[in-house]
């Protein structure tokens, strides 16, 4: 349909479509490393439990800020390498390149990722599930993280919800002295009750998109990396109301990520009272660890 020349937003929509089309033509990965931050010796360790290669980039905005602003050591745990065995070696290479670009470390759960991490397997194959839980518990014991990232328990994709339960089950078998902050992420389905909106700067958004593009085999079939800025931008609308309070003023952020921050205390997950539900770009992300 022909654009309405009297509509002042017609040019905006046309430019938006052209921008997306131009972004789809950009190269996949292969760029020099992004901004490097010095890791604080003996500083906090942050673990990202990623259901698939690329989730570390999609939901890693806060982790990236913790690395750059507070010198946290960020380690991505690749829980699975996807369901296609023929693609797993390639996906591992893409993952290593994406994490290297951002400055994250990466480690596979098990020798080459775990298999069948989903609620059905948890219910129907308890022995195998117990083995996987033990592997994750071993990783938690090894790193003793100050903060972990995991999908929320209703994130639609069966592997995402499976990883939530896998990590939660692993936490339950750790010694009673173990505690850490737990950050729940969203992607496939929005959380009903996020409690933290984290501003993502333009530079950070660009680096996250670029990092996703290193997963070339995935974005070649579905260029979802170019949609990330739109999602991050819409999070500002949602977060201003949900995390910031219904009816509140909209924040003038370009981009944001939404999370639910809680704390694992011996044997149970506890809500935390945040001084502010909004983490703007001018405030150190390390303040969440205080």
Q: Which H helix or E strand runs over 147?
A: strand 147-151
The string of pLDDT tens digits covering residues 16-57 is 999 999 999 999 999 999 988 899 999 999 999 999 999 999
Q: Six-digit token pair at 15?
A: 């430019």
Residue 53, domain member (yes or no): yes
Q: What is the model's pLDDT at position 19?
A: 97
DSSP reduced 3-state for 224: helix
Residue 233, domain member (yes or no): yes
Highest mean pLDDT among 9-13, 96-100, 243-247: 96-100
**How far apart (Å, rounded) are the C-alpha atoms in residues 48 and 75?**
6
The string of pLDDT tens digits covering residues 222-234 is 999 999 999 999 9
Q: What is the mean pLDDT of residues 211-222?
A: 97
Residue 209, domain member (yes or no): yes
Helix axis angle for 228-242 and 202-213, nearest 10°, is: 130
Q: Per-residue pLDDT for 2 more than 90?
A: no
Q: pLDDT grade, residue 186 (50/70/90)?
A: very high
Residue 224, domain member (yes or no): yes
For the chain, the average pLDDT equals: 95
Q: Six-digit token pair at 81?
A: 């390498």
Residue 22, domain member (yes or no): no
Residues near 282 by Cβ (< 8 Å), separated by ≥ 6? none
CATH code at 249? 3.40.50.10320
Rg over alpha carbons for the chain, rounded to the nearest Å, is 19
DSSP reduced 3-state for 249: coil
**How far apart (Å, rounded) are the C-alpha atoms in residues 4 and 14?**
11
Residue 128, domain member (yes or no): yes
| Domain total of the chain | 1
Q: Select from 250, 248, 274, 287 the least CA-distant residue to 195.
A: 274
Q: Six-digit token pair at 21?
A: 């089309």
Residue environment code for 263-288, b if the CB has 16+ CB neighbours within 10 A, otherwise e: ebeeeeeeeeeeeebbbebeeebbeb
- Domain extent, residue 148, equals 37-283
End-to-end CA, the chain? 55
How many of the other CB atoms lie within 10 Å of CB of 235?
Answer: 25
Q: pLDDT grade, residue 1 (50/70/90)?
A: low
Residue 135, domain member (yes or no): yes
Q: What is the model's pLDDT at position 99?
A: 98
Query: What Cα–Cα distance (Å) separates residue 94 from each residue in 97, 119, 160, 289?
Result: 5, 27, 20, 31
CB 191 within 8 A of CB 258: yes
Q: Which H helix or E strand runs over 19?
A: helix 10-24
Percent of the chain whose pLDDT exceeds 90: 88
Residue 289, domain member (yes or no): no
Beta bridge mates, 265: 268
**How far apart (Å, rounded) are the C-alpha atoms in residues 249 and 243?**
12
Beta bridge mates, 226: none
């Amino acid at each position: 349909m022909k654009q309405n020349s009297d509509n002042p937003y017609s040019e905006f929509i046309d430019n938006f479509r052209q921008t997306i089309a131009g972004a789809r033509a950009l190269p996949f990965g292969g760029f020099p490393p992004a901004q490097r931050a010095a890791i604080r010796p003996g500083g906090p360790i942050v673990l990202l439990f990623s259901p698939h290669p690329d989730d570390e980039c999609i939901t890693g905005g806060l982790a990236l800020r913790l690395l750059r602003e507070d010198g946290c050591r960020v380690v991505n745990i690749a829980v699975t390498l996807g369901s296609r065995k023929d693609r797993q070696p390639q996906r591992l290479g893409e993952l290593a390149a994406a994490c290297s670009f951002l400055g994250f470390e990466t480690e596979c759960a098990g020798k080459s990722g775990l298999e069948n991490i989903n609620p059905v397997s948890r219910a129907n194959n308890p022995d195998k599930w117990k083995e996987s839980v033990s592997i994750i518990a071993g990783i938690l014991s090894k790193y003793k993280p100050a903060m972990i990232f995991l999908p929320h328990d209703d994130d639609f994709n069966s592997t995402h919800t499976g990883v939530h339960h896998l990590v939660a089950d692993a936490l339950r078998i750790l010694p009673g002295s173990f505690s850490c902050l737990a950050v729940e992420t969203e992607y496939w389905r929005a959380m009903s009750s996020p409690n933290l909106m984290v501003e993502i700067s333009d530079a950070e958004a660009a680096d996250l998109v670029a990092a996703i593009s290193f997963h070339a085999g995935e974005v070649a079939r579905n260029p979802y990396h170019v949609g990330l800025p739109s999602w991050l931008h819409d999070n500002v609308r949602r977060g201003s109301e949900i995390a910031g309070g219904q009816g509140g003023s909209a924040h003038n952020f370009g981009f944001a990520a939404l999370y639910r921050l809680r704390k694992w205390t011996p044997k149970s997950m506890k809500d935390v009272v945040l001084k502010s539900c909004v983490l703007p770009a001018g405030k150190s992300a390390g303040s969440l660890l205080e």
